[in-house]
Structures are given as C-alpha cells and as structure tokens.
Amino acid sequence: MRVMLINPKFRLPIDTRTTPHLGLAYLAAVSERRGDEVFLFDADVEAESVTDAVHRFQPDAVGITANTPQVKQAWRTAQAIKSVKDIPIVIGGPHPSVLPLESAERSEIDIVARGEGEEIWLKVCDVVEKGLAADPSFTARDLLDPQARHIDHILGITFKTNDDELHNHPDHPPIADLDELPWPAYHAFKMESYTNLQPATDAIDGAKSFSILTSRGCPYRCTFCSQSIMPQKWRARTAESILAEWQHLVEDLGAQEIGVLDDSANIKVDRLFELSDLLIEHKLNHIPWIFVNGIRANLASQEFLAKLKAAGLKRTAFGVESGDPDILLSIDKKIDHDTIRRAFKNAKGVGLETIGFFIIGLPGETEETMERTIKFAIELDPMIANFSMLTPYPGTIVYEIAKRQGRMLVEDWEDYVFFEGKARYEMGEMTAEVIERKWREAYRRFYLRPSRVVRIVTRKDFWINWRRTFRMAFRTLFPREEKTELKQAIEANV
Ligand code: B12
Ligand code: SF4
C-alpha cells in the first residue's frame, strides 16, 4: 500500500532548528515493515505543495501529525488532500490526543489516533488495505460506513461514521516491548534539509545530528507538561537495543552527534550505567551526545554523571522551572531546590555542560516569585538558561487553572506558541505586563553579566555561530510583530 505521512508546516518566528519528526519516523518505520511504500512529506522542508505531492504519489492512506499550534494547518492540509481525492486521513499527535472530538467532528478528518500511534496506524492501514483489495475504489466514505463496521475493533481512535455518530473508543494499550519497534526511518527524510536540534559539537550546522529515544513516557505529572498524551507507565528499551541503534546511527548513517529525546531518561539509572559501559566497550564514546530535554535532578549522582561523561555525554539539561519553593511545590515536580543545586554541582563537577529550563508565569506567581527564579538561575549558572513564558496547553492542569481562575489572552490554537515575547494568559496580580517584563529581565540579567559575556565570547561555537546568536538575542530583547505576515505565508503554502 502507498502511505503518505505529513508534518504540517509550522515555522516559528524565532530561529529554531529543524530536525526530522521522530514520531513520523517511527510511523514510517512500522509502515515499511508492514510492506508499505512510504512518502514522508515534511512541509517545513518540502518545495512542492501537498496537493501536487498527492497527485504525484497517489497515496492510499494519509497520516498527519499535529501539536497544538500546528493543528489548524493540519486541518487545512487535510482539506487540500480531500479536494484531490477522498483518501482516508488519520490525524494524531499531542493536540488531537487531548482534544480528539474537535478533530473527529471535522469532515476532512476521518480518524483521530490518540496517544502512542504505531499499533493504531498499522491497524488502520490493515483495514484500508483489505478494503482496497476487495474494491480498488475503496474510499474514506466506505471506511466510515456505519453498517460495515470496518474499524470497530481498533482501540485508541475517535471518529464519526457517515451517519454523523461520534465514536470514542477506549485507549489503546501501550506498546509492551519497545525493543520490538524498528528504528526510526530516517531514510524517508530529506536529511540534508535539516539542521540539528541542539548542537553538541563545535561544528554546529555542519554536524550530522540524529535523535534517539531510549524510553517513553514519564511517571511524573507536572502541572504544565503535556505528558498526559502518552501512557503514564514509563517504559524503557534495553541497553542492548539502544546500543544497536546507536551503532547504526554512527556507523551506517555517520552521526557526529546524538540527541537523546527522552522525557525522563534516568528513571532507572542502572540501565544507563549499562548503556554507558556498552558505549565505552564498543568505542562509541567519542561521539558527543546530549540529553536534550533534561533528566530528573533527583537521580543525578556524581558517580552516575561521571559514568555518562565517560560514555560521551557532553551536556545535560535539568528542568528547574521555578526558584520559588512554594511555586515549585505547586507544580508537582516533586523536587526541591537543594536537590537541583546538587545535580548542577555534580554535573559541573564531572565536566558536563549544563542547561537549566526555567518558567516565568506559572499560576500563582508574583513579581517576587519570578525574581526568585531569576536569582536561582544566576546562582545555578548553567551554560544555557532557557526561560519560557508559560503557555497553558490543553490537557494540562495549568490550562484548567488558567481557564478557571485566569484570563486567556489567546483564542486561536495557532497562537499557542511562543511569539513576539507576549504573555499567553494573566492571573491575579500576574498581569501580562509583569510576565513579559520579568521574562525579558531574566534573559538580560542572566546573559549580560560581565562574567557570562566573557565566558560566551571565549567559546569557539560562539564565533562559528555569532550571527545567529546575535539575531536570537536581539529578537528576544526586542521582539517584533511578525505573526500576521508569517501566518498568511503559511496558510498560502498548503
Ligand atoms: C523534540 C520536540 C520538539 C522539537 C521538534 C522536533 C520535531 N521535528 O519533532 C522542537 C524543539 C522543534 C519542538 C518545538 C515545539 N514543541 Co515540542 N517536543 C518535542 C518532544 C520533547 C519530543 C517529541 C518526540 O520526538 N516524541 C517522541 C515521538 C515518538 O512521539 P510523538 O512525536 O508524539 O509521536 C507519537 C504519537 O504522538 C503519535 N502520533 C504523532 N503523530 C501522529 C500521526 C498519526 C497519523 C498517528 C496515527 C499517530 C501520531 O504516534 C507517534 C509514535 O508513537 C515532545 C515531548 C514528547 N514527549 O513527545 C515535545 C512536545 C511535542 N512539544 C511541545 C510543544 C508545546 C512545542 C512548541 C509548541 C513549543 C514552543 N516553542 O512554543 C514547539 C512547536 C514547534 C513546531 N514546529 O511545531 C509539546 C506539545 C503540546 C501540545 N499540546 O501541542 C510537547 C508534548 C512537550 C510537552 N510535554 O509539553 N518540540
Ligand atoms: S516536565 Fe518532565 S518530569 Fe514533569 S511530567 Fe513532564 S516530562 Fe515528566
């Protein structure tokens, strides 16, 4: 069967890096294993329009991914495809997973796949393939025929049959053994069109960078995090399975750096001790790698981090979130400031570069609590401090709090992204003016300290990449109004 997997266009106005979509890379891999011919259409890097691509490739089924700011473009993309042919269209990803009915109600969407998608996608493909075998003119309308009950057996999907009845099936069970999954199908992507997620080497954009996922899910439920889209049970691959993929990335694909994309890779430290030994034993530890999303600070002893460093780890991030003890408690991070201090000390002690993730504008914040966050960031002094202004995403607890007790300043899903240095909601004494001012102050005070400036300009990668760094810094401190223009360009680009 011919299947097309789509990442709808969504370019942030800030200078983000592009990287192949790992979720689609997994879907492409399982589809290929099923025997499908896969066309991966990443609108961020494709030159042709999606309709031209559909005319040319003639897919039998289409899968589209969507996070919240992407979902409207996903719908537009589906409409464009339906204008060519009534191909079955499945939408999945973080946004439809938390608000499935919204997409299922739309005529251009046939099926919403909630949560982890590989098994659901395969089951839908099986049904479409059988339908096409029985009748080569099988369409999405046939798939949703209420009498035929083609997809009644598939868990984890939400859809509307042709008689307008909505069906919301129970969740699909999580994949029991992640080692069974094939490796992400990077060959389906135009790899030369991507940069990298977070440069680990001084070569920056020149380096061949790949991502890897060694575990899925997270047992925690921080109030601001969209973790609820994935099964709560943390599941991990074995060290041997990770090693095999790591070898493939380095030896077959020429990876010069690797980004580990797990949400919480170190829930079981023994597994990473074992992986480190294997990376060292197989002489893969010369390839730098980083924990892009951070690891749990409460499971980051010096011995553990030293072992990871010996295995090639160059940089790790920690989610610090807030410098105020009460706010930290309120977000259910289940961590305290001393533990965070120790984790940074341990990481720096073994020579790792560090990143701290901080949030400005959590529910209940005041100017004083934000001030504590800025001071704590300066005290921890990571190599990179990332301050984000809170955007309450649907499906999170902060979203419910912001809706109930605050005032959302955005209506449109496309605005649920960090744009123009603007706050996304207000609550109590936390006005947009305060959030925006403290956020700008955080960057200014953290990065413009004389000691910090000296340290930055003496780094080699600063000089390799100085134009981008200045552009980013300028846009952070002096955000400009560019949303309308950008949105129009994206809409016109379907
Ligand atoms: C890496 C990453 C990025 C990278 C993107 C790289 C890329 N091209 O994918 C960067 C840094 C650019 C990024 C940016 C943003 N991100 Co981000 N990101 C992630 C992260 C950490 C990992 C994504 C990943 O690879 N997951 C692993 C794969 C296997 O899972 P997956 O992609 O979700 O796909 C699975 C299922 O969702 C499902 N599925 C997905 N699509 C489809 C389609 C079909 C047809 C089917 C059947 C199934 C299906 O099946 C897949 C396999 O199981 C996630 C957190 C997370 N745990 O997922 C956040 C996450 C996706 N990001 C998030 C957000 C908010 C953003 C930003 C909006 C932040 C911002 N700057 O304002 C931007 C949006 C940028 C954009 N262009 O869209 C949120 C999304 C919440 C939401 N409601 O949308 C997440 C969930 C973080 C969180 N925990 O809150 N992000
Ligand atoms: S922020 Fe990190 S620790 Fe908290 S729920 Fe999300 S992934 Fe888990």
| pLDDT tens profile 44-82 | 889 999 999 999 999 999 999 999 999 999 999 999 999
pLDDT over 70 percentage in the chain: 88
Element (H, E) at 69: none
Atom of ligand 1 nearest to the CA of 90: 45
Residues 371-399 have a mean pLDDT of 96
Cα–Cα distance between 83 and 175 in angstroms, integer? 35
Q: How far is the CA of 222 from the centre of ligand 2 (A)?
A: 5
Protein residue whose Cα sits closest to atom 3 of ligand 2 = 220
CB neighbours of residue 123 within 10 Å = 18
235, 225 in Cβ contact below 8 A?
no
- Write the pLDDT tens digit of every residue in 228-254: 788 878 999 999 999 999 999 999 999
What are φ and ψ of residue 275, in 5° steps?
-60, -45
Distance 94 CA to ligand 1 centre (A): 7
Q: Which of 264, 291, 396 to mutate to test the pocket of ligand 2 (most atoms within 8 A of CB)?
A: 264
CATH 3.40.50.280 assigned to domain 2-168? The reply is yes
Model confidence pLDDT, tens digit, residues 120-150: 999 999 999 999 999 999 999 999 999 999 9
**Whose C-alpha lies nearest to ligand 2, atom 6?**
225
Exposure string of 447-486, with b = 16+ CB inside 10 Å and e = fewer, is eeeeebeeeeeeeeeeebbeeebeeeeebbeebeeebeee
Distance of CA 170 to the CA centre of its chain: 25
The residue with greater pLDDT, 363 or 451, is 363
Q: What is the pLDDT of residues 431-480, one digit of tens each?
A: 999 999 999 999 999 999 988 887 777 766 665 555 666 666 666 666 65
Sequence-distant (≥ 6) Cβ neighbours of residue 91 within 8 angstroms: 63, 64, 65, 66, 74, 78, 103, 109, 111, 112, 113
For residue 225, the ligand 2 atom closest to its alpha carbon is 6
Check if the beta carbon of residue 257 is closer than 8 Å to that of residue 196.
yes
Supply the pLDDT for residue 194: 82
Task: Give residue 416 CA to ligand 2 midpoint distance, Å.
Answer: 19
For residues 81-109, average pLDDT: 98
Q: Tokens 């965070």 map to which residue?
A: 340
CATH number of 195-491: 3.80.30.20
User: What local confidence, expressed as pLDDT, does residue 69 receive?
Assistant: 93
Report residues whose beta carbon is within 6 angstroms of any ligand 1 atom. 10, 12, 16, 19, 21-23, 26-27, 63-65, 67-70, 90, 92-95, 113, 116-118, 120-121, 213, 225-227, 261, 263, 293, 393, 417-418
Q: Which atom from ligand 2 is nearest to the alpha carbon of 224? A: 1
Ligand 1: residue of 67, 110, 263, 483 to mutate (most ligand atoms within 8 A of CB) is 67
pLDDT at 456: 73
Ligand 2 site residues (CB inside 6 A) read 218, 220-222, 225, 227, 263-264, 319
Closest alpha carbon to 432 in 383, 389, 485: 389
pLDDT score at 474: 63
How close is the Cα of 219 to the center of ligand 2, in Å?
8
Given a cut of 80, is residue 321 above it in pLDDT?
Answer: yes
How buried is residue 160: exposed, middle or buried, by Cβ count under 10 Å (0-12/13-18/19+)? Answer: buried
- Prediction pTM value: 0.94
pLDDT at 486: 56
**Strand 209-212 vs strand 313-321: parallel, antiparallel, or unpaired?**
unpaired
Question: Is the model more confident about 493 or about 44?
Answer: 44
Cα 102 to middle of ligand 2, angstroms:
26
CA torsion, points 488, 489, 490, 493, in degrees to nearest 10? Answer: 120
- Residues with Cβ within 8 Å of residue 101, at least 6 apart in sequence: 158, 166, 168
Domain boundaries, given as residue ranges, for the chain: 2-168, 195-491
Quick one: pLDDT at residue 419? 65
Cβ–Cβ contacts within 10 Å for residue 82, how many?
A: 18
Instruction: Tell me which of 238 and 198 has the higher pLDDT.
Output: 238
> What letter would DSSP give residue 317?
E
Note the residue count of the chain. 494
| Portion of the chain with pLDDT greater than 90, in percent | 79
φ and ψ of 50, to 5 deg: -65, -35
Q: Which atom of ligand 2 is nearest to the CA of 294?
A: 2
Provide the mean pLDDT of the chain. 91
